[in-house]
Amino acid sequence: MRLSKRERQKKLKLSLEAEPFLTDEEMARRFGVSIQTIRLDRMELGIPELRGRIKHMAEKNFDGVRSLYPEEVIGQVTELKLDHSGVSELEIREEHVFARHRVARGHHLFAQANSLAVAVVDAEVVLTATASIRFVRPVRLGEKCVAVARVTKVTSNRTQVDIQTFVEDEVVFQGVFDVYRSKEDQ
């Protein structure tokens, strides 16, 4: 049985989120419609053609960390674009909390943010110079902290990185890190 246009467009959108490199041809085959119909669907949904989607992904690309060994980053890096932005995740486990009240110890959130701020910089030798940080709300055992880094300023030997750490939609930590890069390694 053919899907209604509305149902098909909904499924098409979900499919492309799961498999962004599906061709129009393959989608046409899966939904039992013409390629032209898929193109119209994409246009209505505002989804670019395959080449555009690849380009978009490439821009989002996952760069390699230069400034430290990947295993030295505290948390799991899920996105990294050098000198631009990065994302890492850290789940708060037993070893991260105060024994007494089960709240994450500040230095673990700091370590996640600081190491992401260093990782995002495109240089071999990167050290933190200053940081201004705010613990917005306590983080508890089992919560997943997602740190998002954005490079906000680059000068000859310094990079400023803003970090916001979220648990779900809530900001739990904020920081501005000023890191310096060793010139010899630029």
Q: Summarize as ranges the residues that interact with a second copy (CB under 8 A).
A: 68-69, 72, 74, 98-101, 103, 105-107, 110-111, 114-115, 124-125, 127-135, 138
Residue closer to a second copy by CB (options 6, 100) is 100
- The rounded distance, in Å, linking the Cα atoms of 12 and 62 is 26
In 3D space, the residue among 74, 81, 68, 83 whose CA is nearest the CA of residue 124 turns out to be: 68
The residue count of the chain comes to 186
CA-to-CA separations, 178 to 61, 92, 96, in angstroms, rounded: 24, 26, 25
Residue closer to a second copy by CB (options 30, 102) is 102
In the complex, minimum distance from the CB of residue 129 to a second copy, in angstroms, rounded to a whole number: 6
Residue closer to a second copy by CB (options 91, 124) is 124
- Please give the backbone phi and psi of residue 5, each rounded to the nearest 5 degrees, phi first: -55, -40
- What kind and span of H or E run contains 138? none
In the complex, minimum distance from the CB of residue 144 to a second copy, in angstroms, rounded to a whole number: 19
SS3 call for 20: coil
Tokens 């943010």, located at residue: 113
In the complex, minimum distance from the CB of residue 24 to a second copy, in angstroms, rounded to a whole number: 24
In the complex, minimum distance from the CB of residue 106 to a second copy, in angstroms, rounded to a whole number: 4
Asked if 171 and 164 count as a contact pair (C-beta separation under 8 A), the reply is yes
Asked if 96 and 89 count as a contact pair (C-beta separation under 8 A), the reply is no
In the complex, minimum distance from the CB of residue 84 to a second copy, in angstroms, rounded to a whole number: 22
Residue closer to a second copy by CB (options 95, 169) is 95
Which DSSP category does 169 fall into?
T
Residue closer to a second copy by CB (options 50, 68) is 68
Residue closer to a second copy by CB (options 50, 111) is 111
